Chains A and B, each alone.
Chain A
Amino acid sequence: MFLLRLLLKNAFRHRLRTLLTIVGLMVAVCAFGLLRTIVDAWYAGANASSSTRLVVRSATSLTVPLPLAYAERLRAVDGVTAVSWSNWFGGVYVTERNFFPQFAVDGASYLPLYPEFVVADAERTAWLRDRRGVLVGRTLAAKYGWKVGDTVPLRGTIYSGTWNFTIRGIYQGADAGVDQNQMLMHWGYVNEIQRQRFPGRGDSVGVFVVGIRDPNDAALVGQRIDTMFRNSLAETLTETEKAFQLGFVSMSEAILVALQAVSLIVIVIIMAVMANTMAMTARERLAEYATLKALGFPPEFVVKLLFGESLLIAVIGGVLGVLVTLPLASAFANAVGTLFPVFRVAPETIALQLLAALAVGVAAAAWPAWRSSRIDIVDGLRHVA
């Protein structure tokens, strides 16, 4: 009890300095949490993927289409339970800044493959009936204030011209990890218009999504598919949905590595600030510690005092940092809008934030504590801060 009171008194002896240290820690802990959340958001697509879905794309690259006729052949592959397909639509809503993913999909076969897209039965039927209808995610609808029945104009970049779609339904994710920012239109409709405008083109598919019976057979089924199309006009590359999504993540790897490096740098900066404070504290109190020793307190007592003070400041700063992170993260999510479909602070991030604060507290006190515990009583008493 006596130790705790002494600690509190000590920590707030230099009120301004302690306050500044706490603010610095808070900022850094908060920045560290935000960075981790951003990195997590990048991986959200991969984490939300299902293990019973494979993605079949052209072996050349994602931008090279596959013929629609492959659908029938894929259905015949052993282990395949369902086949659907989708094309990246790439339309622009008003300006380029309003980016959100749009897929032209084969609705009737697509929704059963994606049970995590939850749509009311009436809306699902309405969408399937209307060739110009679209299904939009709840977050997306909320962002632009769309309601069922609204018309959304999109300017095509891949499918040229202006397209007017009618919202027929709003889906929501079965859990928090599902991307609620997508727009799904009918592949059949897009294809039909495309064929009218450019005779001879069309019937092309961006990726096939294949449902498989047993997740353990993923590699085997993928191999069967790729072997079947080897040496054909369009060779395929089949991978699990997770690998497919991770492919996107690795494209911006340079940025991700930079972000991760930066979040480490943040910790180093807090350490520098904290270590600085503790070093100053220890230097100023050398005479005091010498007095304590002269009174008969063992060296461990001085060590305890320094560590306790450092940890106390670190914990206060860490907890405040976590508390600030939560509202900031949701503000950030609003600011970047649809860029990151899923943006939330994971429990592990909060745990890591607190752990980082504790580690900083321990590390900052180590060197001053070691020095003060070894101080010679006479030297210490002679020392003037």
Chain B
Amino acid sequence: MRRAVPLAYIARNLWVRRVTTALTAGGMALVIFVFATVLMMTEGIRATLVATGQPDNVVVLRKGSNAEITSTIGREQAGIIESLPGIATDAAGQPLVSREPVVLNSLVKRNGKPGNVTLRGTSATGLALRPQVHIVEGRFFRPGSAEIVVGRAVARGYDGVAPGSTLRFAGRDWTVVGILDAGKTGFDSEIWGDSEQLMQAFRRLAYSSVIFRLAEPSSFEAVRARLEDDPRLTLEAKPEIRFYAEQSEQLANFISILGTALALIFSTGAIVGAAITMFGAVASRVGEIGTLRALGFRREAVLVAFLGESLLLAFVGGVFGLAAASLMQFVDVSTTNFATFSELAFQFRLTPVIGAKAIAFALAMGLIGGFVPAWRAARLKIVDCLRAA
């Protein structure tokens, strides 16, 4: 008789030992929760920063500096960049180039702790270069004035940053005139003001970066070569998408290494838990195993039955852990990005890949924890079993 033990029988066994099942599955759920949350955090940081870049935009920085705050581009260099061929123009025929000074400004968060907010000098062209950014409240700043607009995450996370209020920095008072929504990208964590006004206030002689749009996205290599071969310039150009992706790398890697290490350590605990539960299940059902075998179920069927029980246990734990982790999507978090030294607001992000990975991880724990007990159950001799019962 080559029959498998029915699934209902397997499931009912778990139900009979409810308390033990709940404790074991609970331990696994916690491990999966940690595992999934970490992956979601890494994914959230990546998604936020990658979405910040536009495919046909190019960022120019000083050679060797990886972030805008450490880069400097003089006015004459910016002029040379502006005269490059291949830059897109707007409806009025003006080249789509934005010269931007970037400064970090320390503000007080709602929880009383200081945070570094990126202060970006830009212009109407800078806004046009980022189609994902919209003004949702108030209006854009007037050129040549001490007005600023703040990102949505800044308005939410920091004290006294609302339309109509003033911020004091660089010896001046700046009026907040609007809130910008950047569609959950990095610009949500920034404050924007007029380029020239900020340069004057901070007594800077150089911009931090120059951003322009390519007329033809495929012409990037030609533009880059022209820019980097120019002996007057010590600059480097990067597609905006790659620039922001690189900024997410360090933090995302750190979190994913730390998180994976933790999940692996915990999983040892959960596997041990599963193994104890399954050994217990085998020990208390020796008689039953004997009966099953006597009825004609083969060793393999018994092995599969116990392994199935362990996998089902792990699956239940995995589903609960993942469900708890999916609630984290409603939590807003912000942390300092080491690469830019500034605050970055982001959200936990659950993707199908993460879901699949979490469930696979849970099943792997169940498999490892359940294999030896199931093997032992399958190896028992019928006579011994029946005698023990």
- Give the shortest distance, in Å, between A52 (CB) and chain B (any CB): 23
- Give the shortest distance, in Å, between A98 (CB) and chain B (any CB): 14
Asked if A200 lies at the interface with its beta carbon under 8 angstroms from chain B, I say: yes
Closest 10 CB pairs of A and B: A24-B272, A251-B336, A254-B335, A61-B104, A272-B27, A61-B106, A276-B23, A273-B273, A27-B268, A31-B265
Asked if A345 lies at the interface with its beta carbon under 8 angstroms from chain B, I say: no
Asked if B270 lies at the interface with its beta carbon under 8 angstroms from chain A, I say: yes
Asked if B19 lies at the interface with its beta carbon under 8 angstroms from chain A, I say: yes
Asked if A252 lies at the interface with its beta carbon under 8 angstroms from chain B, I say: yes
A280 partner, pick from B20, B66, B333, beta carbons under 8 A: B20
Asked if B30 lies at the interface with its beta carbon under 8 angstroms from chain A, I say: yes
The count of A-to-B residue pairs whose CB atoms sit within 8 angstroms is: 149
The stretch that binds B, out of A14-22, A111-119, A126-134, A136-144, is: A14-22
Query: B193-219 CB contact bits vs A (8 Å, 1 = yes)?
Result: 000000000110100000000000000
Asked if B234 lies at the interface with its beta carbon under 8 angstroms from chain A, I say: yes
Q: How far is the CA of A272 from the CA of B65 in the complex (A)?
A: 50
B169 partner, pick from A59, A250, A273, beta carbons under 8 A: A59
Asked if B62 lies at the interface with its beta carbon under 8 angstroms from chain A, I say: yes
CB <8 Å contact, A262 and B34? yes
Given contacts A90-B70, A247-B114, contact A279 B23 (CB under 8 A): yes
Residues of A within 8 A of B268 (CB): 23-24, 27
CB <8 Å contact, A21 and B106? no
Residues of B within 8 A of A62 (CB): 104, 106, 116, 341
CB<8 Å pairs between A and B, sample of 21: A17-B280, A20-B272, A21-B272, A21-B276, A23-B268, A24-B268, A27-B272, A28-B266, A60-B106, A61-B104, A64-B103, A90-B70, A160-B63, A232-B171, A235-B171, A247-B114, A254-B334, A262-B34, A273-B272, A273-B276, A385-B284
Q: What is the interface of chain B, defined by CB distance below 8 A to chain A?
A: 19-20, 23-24, 26-27, 30-31, 33-34, 37, 62-67, 69-70, 72, 103-106, 113-116, 169-171, 202-203, 205, 234, 250, 255, 258, 262, 265-266, 268-270, 272-273, 275-277, 279-280, 283-284, 333-336, 341, 343
Interface residues on A, range: 35 or more
Who on chain B is nearest to A16 by CB? Answer: B279
Residues of A within 8 A of B62 (CB): 160
A window 128-168: CB within 8 A of B:
155-158, 160-161
The stretch that binds B, out of A177-185, A211-219, A263-271, is: A263-271
Asked if A122 lies at the interface with its beta carbon under 8 angstroms from chain B, I say: no
Q: How far is the CA of A175 from the CA of B194 in the complex (A)?
A: 50
CB <8 Å contact, B65 and A158? yes
- Give the shortest distance, in Å, between B93 (CB) and chain A (any CB): 35
B269 partner, pick from A24, A201, A262, beta carbons under 8 A: A24
Known: A20-B275, A21-B272, A273-B273. 13 other contacts (CB 8 A): A28-B266, A62-B104, A62-B116, A158-B65, A200-B205, A253-B335, A265-B30, A265-B33, A266-B266, A269-B270, A273-B272, A273-B276, A280-B20
A window 183-222: CB within 8 A of B:
198, 200-201
Residues of B within 8 A of A231 (CB): 171
Q: How far is the CA of A34 from the CA of B103 in the complex (A)?
A: 37
